[in-house]
Chains A and B, each alone.
Chain A
Amino acid sequence: MSKVSNHDPRLAVEIAGIHFNNPVLGASGTFGYGLEFADLIDLNRLGGFATKGLSAKPLAGNAPPRIVETHGGMLNAIGLQNIGARAFIEEKLPRLRGYDTRIIANVFGYSDEDYIEALTILNDGEGIAAYELNISCPNVKEGGIVIGNSPDAAARLTEKAKRASSRPLIVKLSPNVTDITKVARAIVGAGADCLSLINTIVGMSVDVNTRRPRLSYGTGGLSGPAIRPIAVRMVYEVARTVDVPLIGIGGIASTSDALEFIIAGATAIQIGTANYYDPTITMKVIDGLSEYCENQSLENINSLIGSIKAE
């Protein structure tokens, strides 16, 4: 758990006043509670990570099967199984604090009150750098509409969450909308400090022998390299719409994938599904970014953010 690590100063970025040693983060739901990676990578070298989605109370999740591999990606319907915000603070945070990496608590709920309750619990957690709101959840009090798909519902939740939280607030956008810039603008207007995007894209896969969906839940979230071009396009669009920093997510599996997002307008990136089939991918991308800076004679990766050459 030594904190002595060599960081490439060219890779340091800042988001909402938080210093990240580099822009490479683990994505929520693909990085567990961080500690699972302690034997696989040097957590002190990681820019940061977002925890598995935390709710006020523990959740059991969906019945299996919960995942199915598709082409260039996978569908999941985990159902947000998690140990709960309180257990995270008591069982995971004390050990996580020993590492020099930024911990982002990913939070979700099925009503505005659920989110506030979880945030209130997490405010007690020493060592959390920021919150990331997962708004791709159905609001049970409003007939199950997905909060993140409605600019009004998303803005209302953001405003309440901002008031309830003692830390910078990142809101994670759902890609399952016609115009992502509308939701982005509403959320930033309501006080979000940063946007992360994208969450998974709703998809479905059918077993032709049984004629049943392959996931017990029916539909699931598509992730992995297959969604990357969609995610890059959305980061590009949102970067031209709002002024807050962005965290790019979606199918990143190499250094050049990460660079696409940064050039399109992301200050940092999160790696998700690729961690499953290459648990050391975050380290490879950090090294790759240093190499790119070297080759391109960049003094600082910040000069790359949003540097895309388009009209």
Chain B
Amino acid sequence: MIETIATAESNRELAPGYRMLTINLIEDVRVNPGQFAMLKPRGSLEPLLRRALAIYRVEGPQRLSFLYQVLGRGTTALAQLREKDEVEALLPLGNSWSIETSGGGGAIVVAGGIGSASLLMLCEELKRLRVDTKLLFGAATERAAAGCGLEDFRALDLPSIVTTDDGSLGDKELVTAPLERELREHGHKGSTIYACGPWPMMRRVAEIAAQFKTRCLVSLEAPMGCGFGVCVGCVVAVNTGGPLDYGSYKRVCTDGSIFPSEAIRWEVNAMTH
């Protein structure tokens, strides 16, 4: 983990409302797939808190890129960054995707919307390790799919299924539908599901994984104060321990952001952002 001032290399719009930010660091970093950074334009006072963004791709030992959707105050501030602007950054943070190959099964990667940002490096790694991988990529529209980096995923040439909510690209259904079909029709014995996307999608993915007794890892989101474990603001409710055990909430930033899906108490609605 380093605290540093990085420099923006580019901050390109991929599709309306979706951007890719590339930054240069002044020292080398080692990043594992699924890790994230806390970022903010240097010196900006509004908003105060940095925003968590998954590290989308390592472009070089000192160059990283991020894929993000411009939603509210923090991401709007990041969208203003121009070439050579300075960025306050704390990175890399959180745990990473643990690739399980011992069961002999393959990987099913489920990307929902901008959740894709946490999954590109995982797909690269799965490919490098020659793990039999199926990619299920869901987005709201064709444009959103482009904004969520579909071209970069396609370049990896993995067997994949694309879905959109409006049918403008691929099948008109939720990305959880092909997941269910895959498990029902092909079994995928010993496989692992890796998922990142909106809460309702991941909740459904966890249900399907439980139904088909398939190992499943999810990368979760929660509004974060610090990103390195001190504010204890970004917790999710987990199943371990009794209701008053201090282990019943875990921090997304340092205990996650990746959790086994069965550890999460999905019914705690308050966690839906």
Interface residues of A (CB under 8 A from B): 29-32, 36-37, 39-40, 52, 58-61, 63-69, 71-74, 76, 78, 81-84, 216, 224-225, 273, 275-280
The binding surface of chain A is classed by DSSP as loop
Q: Is the CB of B226 within 8 A of A64?
A: no
Residues 94-149 (chain B) with a chain A CB within 8 angstroms = none
Q: Is the CB of B243 within 8 A of A60?
A: yes
Interface residues of B (CB under 8 A from A): 1, 3, 40, 45-50, 73, 88, 90, 222-223, 225-226, 228-237, 243-246, 248-249, 268, 270-271, 273
Of the residues B230, B244, B270, contact of A36 by C-beta under 8 Å: B230
CB neighbours of B47 from chain A (8 A): 69
**25 A/B residue pairs, CB under 8 Å, sorted by A:** A29-B231, A32-B229, A37-B230, A40-B1, A52-B230, A58-B245, A59-B244, A59-B246, A61-B246, A64-B268, A64-B270, A65-B270, A66-B233, A67-B231, A71-B46, A72-B45, A73-B48, A84-B246, A224-B48, A225-B48, A276-B225, A277-B48, A277-B49, A278-B88, A279-B90
A233 to B235, CA, bound (A): 34
Q: Is the CB of B273 within 8 A of A65?
A: yes
Interface centre among B45, B49, B232, B271 (most CB of A within 10 A): B232
Taking the closest CB of chain A, its distance from the CB of B244, in whole angstroms, is 5
Q: Is the CB of A69 within 8 A of B223?
A: yes
CB neighbours of B40 from chain A (8 A): 277
Of the residues B90, B230, B234, B246, contact of A82 by C-beta under 8 Å: B246
Nearest B-chain residue to A67, judged by Cβ: B233
How many residue pairs link A and B with beta carbons under 8 A? The number is: 110
Q: Is the CB of A61 within 8 A of B48?
A: no
Q: Is the CB of A61 within 8 A of B249?
A: yes
Q: Is the CB of B244 within 8 A of A60?
A: yes
Q: Is the CB of B49 within 8 A of A64?
A: no
Of the residues B73, B229, B236, contact of A64 by C-beta under 8 Å: B236
Nearest B-chain residue to A61, judged by Cβ: B249
Interface centre among B1, B231, B243 (most CB of A within 10 A): B231
Interface centre among A29, A67, A273, A280 (most CB of B within 10 A): A67
Q: Is the CB of A83 within 8 A of B246?
A: yes
Of the residues B1, B49, B236, B273, contact of A69 by C-beta under 8 Å: B49
Q: Is the CB of B268 within 8 A of A275?
A: no
Q: Is the CB of A78 within 8 A of B50?
A: no
Interface centre among A39, A60, A74, A83 (most CB of B within 10 A): A60
Do A65 and B246 contact each other (CB < 8 Å), given the known contacts A74-B48, A276-B230? no
Of the residues A40, A60, A275, contact of B246 by C-beta under 8 Å: A60
Taking the closest CB of chain A, its distance from the CB of B229, in whole angstroms, is 5
CB neighbours of B229 from chain A (8 A): 32, 36
CB neighbours of A30 from chain B (8 A): 230-231
Other than the given A36-B230, A67-B234, 19 more pairs (CB < 8 A) read A30-B230, A36-B228, A36-B229, A37-B230, A60-B248, A63-B237, A65-B273, A67-B225, A67-B231, A72-B45, A72-B46, A74-B49, A78-B232, A224-B48, A276-B49, A277-B50, A279-B90, A279-B226, A280-B3
